[in-house]
Amino acid sequence: MPKKKSGGRPARKAGREGPVVGRIVSEARDVEEKIAKGKKPALRFPVRSLQNVSYESQKGFFEIRGRTKERTLTVNTVKTFAQTLRMMALSKELVETDDIATKREAYYVSKNWGDARFAEQPESDTVIEDVEALFRVNREQLGFVPEEKGGDVAGELVVIDRDTETGQELKIDCRKFGSGAYSIPISVEHLGFETRARFILVIETAGMFQRLVKHNYWKKASCILVSMGGVPTRACRRFIRRLADSKKLPVYVFVDGDPYGITNIYRTLKVGSGNAAHLNEYFCVPQARFLGITPQDIVDYKLPTHPLKDVDIKRAKDALKNDPFILHHKPWQRAIQQLVQMGVRAEQQALAKHGLNYVIDEYLPQKIGHPERFLP
């Protein structure tokens, strides 16, 4: 095979170039013109911290406020400034050639940037996040993708993708994976969807997902099953969001009944996280509702429990005190207080006490009959 660097690959019609390349070029031109006029060039980034964030339930996500910081080219900032411009150039190349780079790969690519190379990956990650915030787009739109995979899907859904080489449309029928599933790719911006499902059921554990797949639960309930495998990755959140938006589907979330399931997994899925607030607009699922396991389920379904650990109690108390999402929703405050008072937690799989398929035959049908009772 001929020796080619990524830049040497022919550009493919990906429909992804859109406005990003234009904005990179325009920002770079400003810098160039300032320099040509003998002035100091500057780049302006939004401040990325919880102090520069607000929450409104109509918007549905932690939103970044107006505060910005400026990076002016000086003797002290020259290296970071050069690295930022280099990273913008890499992004432009990625988008133009329809290629991708993980944050890790971007770090290694910099090893050929001479004095502008990064010594450690956290430095290059910060610059990628700066560029992301600068253009107010998500990293995937700049061609940078996460290391981690997305999550699994089965059920009443056809995903529309394309062959990257031929551009040919591919229809991926998630009803026809048998006991397997469709694995969400790292970047999902280009996917289309066809579905007649009534809702999306998002599940915490791979074990519970496998049970529902094995028994074709999605067929009975006419739904799409998504397995998060713990705290959902960006790709998984973005996939659910794009699917729910484009097909106007409600999203029901089925996780363990413990502070981690509520304040980490569910909260992150629904409104995003605090330390990536410039991205939550893309990576939140505001239509998500909490099906269970609720603290009241533990009582109603007489579930076997485990005592709350110290870390659970700390997490719950922190959320009651500091989490803007919990502070916004009274029903959540009551539910978390109830959990702390009971002093126990229960897992999704605790329903197996009543028989392995009680979850399919009783619990889920009872719950899904009354979405108005779901926690917000």
Say how far apart CA 62 and CA 69 lie, in whole Å.
Answer: 19
- Collect all residues with Cβ–Cβ distance below 8 Å to 336 and sequence separation of at least 6: 259, 262, 263, 295, 316, 319, 320, 326
Q: Applying CB under 8 A, does 190 fall inside the site for a copy of itself? A: yes
- Binding segment toward a copy of itself, per CB under 8 A, in 17-25, 129-137, 258-266, 354-362: 354-362
Which parts of 70-99 interact with a copy of itself (CB under 8 A)?
A: 99
Q: Applying CB under 8 A, does 119 fall inside the site for a copy of itself? A: no
Which parts of 217-256 interact with a copy of itself (CB under 8 A)?
A: 219, 227, 229
Q: How far is the CB of 161 from a copy of itself (least distance, A)?
A: 3
- Binding segment toward a copy of itself, per CB under 8 A, in 26-34, 134-142, 157-165, 325-333: 157-165
CB-nearer residue toward a copy of itself: 235 or 244: 235
Q: Applying CB under 8 A, does 167 fall inside the site for a copy of itself? A: no
Q: Applying CB under 8 A, does 145 fall inside the site for a copy of itself? A: yes
Dihedral pair phi/psi, residue 327, rounded to 5°: -60, -25
Q: How far is the CB of 284 from a copy of itself (least distance, A)?
A: 22
- Binding segment toward a copy of itself, per CB under 8 A, in 75-83, 134-142, 184-192, 272-280: 184-192
Which one of 21, 47, 82, 186 is in contact with a copy of itself (CB under 8 A)? 186
Q: How far is the CB of 283 from a copy of itself (least distance, A)?
A: 18
CB-nearer residue toward a copy of itself: 58 or 168: 168
Q: Judging by beta carbons within 10 Å of its beta carbon (0-12, 13-18, 19+), is residue 187 exposed, middle or buried?
A: buried
- Interface with a copy of itself: number of residues (CB under 8 A): 74
Q: What angle do CA 48, 52, 54 make, to 5 degrees?
A: 120
Q: Applying CB under 8 A, does 158 fall inside the site for a copy of itself? A: no
Residues marked active site are found at: 108
Which one of 83, 210, 273, 294 is in contact with a copy of itself (CB under 8 A)? 210
- Binding segment toward a copy of itself, per CB under 8 A, in 35-43, 145-153, 260-268, 272-280: 145-153
Say how far apart CA 370 and CA 364 lie, in whole Å.
Answer: 10
- Binding segment toward a copy of itself, per CB under 8 A, in 41-49, 64-72, 183-191, 260-268: 183-191
Q: Applying CB under 8 A, does 214 fall inside the site for a copy of itself? A: yes
Q: How far is the CB of 36 from a copy of itself (least distance, A)?
A: 31
Which parts of 98-117 interact with a copy of itself (CB under 8 A)?
A: 99-102, 104-106, 108-109, 111-112
Round to the nearest angstrom and report the end-to-end CA distance of the chain.
55
Tell me how far the alpha carbon of residue 189 is from its chain's centroid. 12
Which one of 11, 25, 170, 311 is in contact with a copy of itself (CB under 8 A)? 170
Say how far apart CA 189 and CA 191 lie, in whole Å.
Answer: 6
Which parts of 314-333 interact with a copy of itself (CB under 8 A)?
A: none
Amino acid type, 129: E
- Collect all residues with Cβ–Cβ distance below 8 Å to 86 and sequence separation of at least 6: 110, 113, 116
Containing 70, the helix (H) or strand (E) segment is strand 68-72
**DSSP letter string over 215-282?**
TTHHHHHTEEEEE--SSPPHHHHHHHHHHHHHHT--EEEE--BSHIIIIIIIHHHHH--GGGTTTHHH
Beta strands 158-162 and 169-173, pairing class = antiparallel
